[in-house]
Chains A and B, each alone.
Chain A
């Protein structure tokens, strides 16, 4: 089954290699991995979607956490998180295509229904940009194919995920608010925190 992990990692050379190498070592295939800047300086947020047995999630998460460059790891599911993906689709739409000159207006219709945007128009092709859940994107691709359009290129970012509502993991609570930079956090002594803040379990399901 697919597992989605959101990891906060130090933005250092090799950080991505360490994460990717971990999955290779565990013999688990990465379905998608997105990485970019986060709200904290010098810190990246990754969304990793991996295909692994149901009971493997705990071990993956614990192993991710073992990497010294990892600050926090969360596993999210569709119910409690917003999951989005960005997709660019280039469709053949020249006068010689089967649909001929009518093709463009039908592509625009599809785009409207699927809330995609036309971002490029060329004599032989149309480029669509679409944001949404993976199934929605697949829906648009499918309807294009079934309507005999030739899809020239597809580029997908892979999933990004964010928990709904106010959510701060115990780790991040101990690190302080997001206003602190990562270079500040290590000066916080976790032992000096009040008892109920001393992070008994990152993996506690009840954290909210």
Chain B
């Protein structure tokens, strides 16, 4: 394949070979994709690049979610590929999912030959036009010599600043043409100068002043902490100044859940003390989060007494939803490294310096702690078995089983979207970054199974659990076959309540219990797994949960557990749309999980 060029010391390769050589040069070892007509030259050249493993998916949506899960688990960009037309359009949901959650992802699509572009050729679709709003950037490549520089630029764009998905559409004739290839010569030019990646010194001073004056500060920990790798800095900051930390859904795991300053998840299904602390705070330190409507509730009554310091790498997030009193634009880790010494050296903080050596909970921390009251004690662990199996039981026991086996930091939970996702966030205590993979911004049902395949490909040594509802699991269940073909030991927990649970809960609360199109019939999931050669078990009793989870975890093979749980359980607390953060709908009295006050 490598013919030496007479006039050049660089080898002459086809565009397809250049694509693989460039991917290999960028450190790619795994690609998720599905072949087809317009990308056949690329698939033909794959055999010459044994360092790259190609995972054949069952649907291109799965390929984009796998690349996404791979990126979330590893921190490295995930790569997916598909053919033109329907192959490319099937990637769109995965690209939008990655876009909303700022995930570095490279999507490569075949395109019809440049000669027939725009002629409605067979399987031609304007995929760069279609994906414009759901990618950070996209390219159409029509010449072999542009493939390597474009791909390398795509990697740079996907991973720099606020990460995101980049699509590279390559025409078939560009894949087939030959040209000289040099990986080094295709080096992307240094990124255009970014104007704002240094926080202003005056803003830093303002921030220091606000922090020093604050009596009731709360840190809002977002996904940016993990993207920036600022976990240690955030913790050092919080510990030095004894500031409690509330997490967004994607921020879970950035700070160990067991840390005394960690409050838990905020927002629509956040615990009451977390949301109340935010509403009572006099200072919010937003670290790499974007004040999504799911965490703020009613914006006009959001944290009314709090000044806001917003640290984000994306200037367009500042003042988008919540007015920032001080905006620090830049990489969170770098901003905190600037802030930390200024705060510690200030004489007025000397008492805090004492607190650092001998932590004394401040009045503010004691207030929050006291506000937990019985709300914190939805004590599932010690609850006697009343014959009902609740999803919360299942999540708690999966967590407890991993913790008991000392595998907590070696466990990645990949959730789908809906009630089980919120229960997971409430009851599984994440101690390590990248240990929870979930579609936050877009809320993509069907995400869990393919994303887990990506996560397992990135981290084969870790225990990977899919936690999915019976609805979302059926959206992408075809990827069970991929698990078997790839021989991946992924454990699957289907939380089966016979409903599209979150839809049902909203219908119960806001639509007068009109359960329109929310009851869902499912196949026998254990038999479905068996049809794929995957072992499985049905669980409907609490005592069976832990032994079955252990069996799945230690089987070293894929294992599916169908948890038949209570049908009409709800996620609480809950903030209705339009309500303020402290106006929580509490768990109804009839809840058998809570001790009934009238019995006491």
Do A and B form a real pair?
Answer: yes
B133 within 8 Å of A (CB atoms): yes
A interface SS class? helix
User: Are B192 and A199 within 8 A (Cβ)?
Assistant: no
Q: With both chains docked as a complex, state the minimum distance between the C-beta of A190 and any C-beta of chain B, in angstroms.
A: 4
Q: With both chains docked as a complex, state the minimum distance between the C-beta of B184 and any C-beta of chain A, in angstroms.
A: 15
0 or 1 for each of B182-198: is its CB under 8 Å from A? (1 = yes)? 00000001111111111
Q: How large is the interface on A (under 10, 10 to 19, 20 to 34, 35 or more residues)?
A: 20 to 34
A66 within 8 Å of B (CB atoms): yes
In whole angstroms, what is the CA distance A169 to B516 when docked?
A: 57
B132 within 8 Å of A (CB atoms): yes
User: Are A200 and B319 within 8 A (Cβ)?
Assistant: no
B455 within 8 Å of A (CB atoms): no
Q: With both chains docked as a complex, state the minimum distance between the C-beta of A115 and any C-beta of chain B, in angstroms.
A: 39
The residues in B between 187 and 219 inclusive whose CB is less than 8 angstroms from any CB of A are 189-198, 200
Q: With both chains docked as a complex, state the minimum distance between the C-beta of B473 and any C-beta of chain A, in angstroms.
A: 32
A189 within 8 Å of B (CB atoms): yes
Q: In the complex, which of the residues A55, A67, A68, A174 contacts B193, with contact meaning CB atoms closer than 8 Å?
A: A174
User: Are A199 and B129 within 8 A (Cβ)?
Assistant: no
B429 within 8 Å of A (CB atoms): no
A201 within 8 Å of B (CB atoms): yes
Q: With both chains docked as a complex, state the minimum distance between the C-beta of B174 and any C-beta of chain A, in angstroms.
A: 15
User: Are A58 and B319 within 8 A (Cβ)?
Assistant: yes
Q: In the complex, which of the residues A14, A65, A66, A198 contacts B198, with contact meaning CB atoms closer than 8 Å?
A: A198
In whole angstroms, what is the CA distance A58 to B320 when docked?
A: 9
In the complex, identify which listed stretch (A17-25, A96-104, A152-160) lies at the interface while the others stay far away.
Answer: A17-25
B167 within 8 Å of A (CB atoms): no
Q: In the complex, which of the residues A14, A58, A67, A200 contacts B200, with contact meaning CB atoms closer than 8 Å?
A: A200
Q: How large is the interface on B (under 10, 10 to 19, 20 to 34, 35 or more residues)?
A: 20 to 34
0 or 1 for each of A20-41: is its CB under 8 Å from B? (1 = yes)? 0100010000000000000000
A133 within 8 Å of B (CB atoms): no
User: Are B316 and A63 within 8 A (Cβ)?
Assistant: yes
0 or 1 for each of B452-483: is its CB under 8 Å from A? (1 = yes)? 00000000000000000000000000000000
Contacts of B157 in A (CB 8 A): 68
Q: With both chains docked as a complex, state the minimum distance between the C-beta of A73 and any C-beta of chain B, in angstroms.
A: 9
0 or 1 for each of A188-208: is its CB under 8 Å from B? (1 = yes)? 111100000011111110000
B137 within 8 Å of A (CB atoms): yes
B314 within 8 Å of A (CB atoms): yes
Contacts of A170 in B (CB 8 A): 195
Nearest residue, chain A, Cβ from B203: A201
- B133, B136, B193, B316: most-surrounded residue (chain A CB, <10 A): B193
- B190, B192, B315: most-surrounded residue (chain A CB, <10 A): B192
In whole angstroms, what is the CA distance A196 to B192 when docked?
A: 17
User: Are B189 and A59 within 8 A (Cβ)?
Assistant: no
User: Are B195 and A59 within 8 A (Cβ)?
Assistant: no
Nearest residue, chain B, Cβ from A184: B189
A175 within 8 Å of B (CB atoms): yes
Q: In the complex, which of the residues B140, B197, B198, B318 contacts A58, with contact meaning CB atoms closer than 8 Å?
A: B318
- A17, A62, A63, A175: most-surrounded residue (chain B CB, <10 A): A62
Nearest residue, chain A, Cβ from B330: A200
Q: With both chains docked as a complex, state the minimum distance between the C-beta of A194 and any C-beta of chain B, in angstroms.
A: 13
User: Are A14 and B128 within 8 A (Cβ)?
Assistant: yes
A71 within 8 Å of B (CB atoms): yes
Q: In the complex, which of the residues A55, A189, A198 contacts B319, with contact meaning CB atoms closer than 8 Å?
A: A55
User: Are B320 and A175 within 8 A (Cβ)?
Assistant: no
Given the interface pairs A14-B128, A65-B195, A185-B192, the reply to whether A201 lies near B316 with Cβ below 8 Å is no
The residues in B between 147 and 165 inclusive whose CB is less than 8 angstroms from any CB of A are 157
Nearest residue, chain B, Cβ from A207: B195
User: Are A202 and B314 within 8 A (Cβ)?
Assistant: no
Nearest residue, chain B, Cβ from A172: B193
User: Are A186 and B189 within 8 A (Cβ)?
Assistant: yes
User: Are B196 and A190 within 8 A (Cβ)?
Assistant: no
User: Are B132 and A21 within 8 A (Cβ)?
Assistant: yes
A171 within 8 Å of B (CB atoms): yes
The residues in B between 102 and 138 inclusive whose CB is less than 8 angstroms from any CB of A are 128-129, 132-133, 136-137
User: Are A71 and B196 within 8 A (Cβ)?
Assistant: no
User: Are B132 and A199 within 8 A (Cβ)?
Assistant: no
A187 within 8 Å of B (CB atoms): yes
Q: In the complex, which of the residues B128, B190, B198, B200 contacts A189, with contact meaning CB atoms closer than 8 Å?
A: B190
0 or 1 for each of A40-69: is its CB under 8 Å from B? (1 = yes)? 000000000000000100110011011110
Q: With both chains docked as a complex, state the minimum distance between the C-beta of B394 and any C-beta of chain A, in angstroms.
A: 40
User: Are A202 and B132 within 8 A (Cβ)?
Assistant: no
Given the interface pairs A55-B319, A203-B315, the reply to whether A17 lies near B192 with Cβ below 8 Å is no
Contacts of A25 in B (CB 8 A): 133
User: Are B195 and A202 within 8 A (Cβ)?
Assistant: yes
Contacts of B194 in A (CB 8 A): 190, 199
User: Are B193 and A66 within 8 A (Cβ)?
Assistant: no
Q: In the complex, which of the residues A14, A65, A174, A198 contacts B315, with contact meaning CB atoms closer than 8 Å?
A: A65
Q: In the complex, which of the residues A63, A68, A71 contacts B136, with contact meaning CB atoms closer than 8 Å?
A: A68
In whole angstroms, what is the CA distance A199 to B192 when docked?
A: 11
Contacts of B129 in A (CB 8 A): 17
Q: In the complex, which of the residues B128, B140, B319 contacts A59, with contact meaning CB atoms closer than 8 Å?
A: B319
Contacts of B140 in A (CB 8 A): 14
Q: In the complex, which of the residues B189, B193, B315 contacts A199, with contact meaning CB atoms closer than 8 Å?
A: B193
In whole angstroms, what is the CA distance A175 to B198 when docked?
A: 18
In whole angstroms, what is the CA distance A14 to B318 when docked?
A: 28
22 residue pairs of the A-B complex, CB under 8 angstroms, read A14-B128, A17-B129, A21-B132, A59-B318, A65-B315, A67-B137, A68-B136, A68-B137, A68-B157, A71-B192, A171-B193, A174-B193, A186-B191, A186-B192, A187-B189, A190-B193, A191-B190, A200-B195, A200-B200, A201-B195, A202-B195, A202-B196
Q: Which 3 A-B pairs have the closest CB atoms?
A: A202-B195, A186-B189, A62-B316
Given contacts A62-B315, A199-B196, 20 further A-B contacts (CB under 8 A): A17-B129, A25-B133, A58-B318, A58-B319, A63-B316, A65-B195, A65-B316, A68-B137, A170-B195, A171-B193, A185-B192, A186-B189, A186-B191, A186-B192, A187-B190, A199-B197, A200-B200, A201-B195, A201-B198, A201-B329
Q: Which residues of B contact A (CB under 8 A)?
A: 128-129, 132-133, 136-137, 140, 157, 189-198, 200, 314-316, 318-320, 329
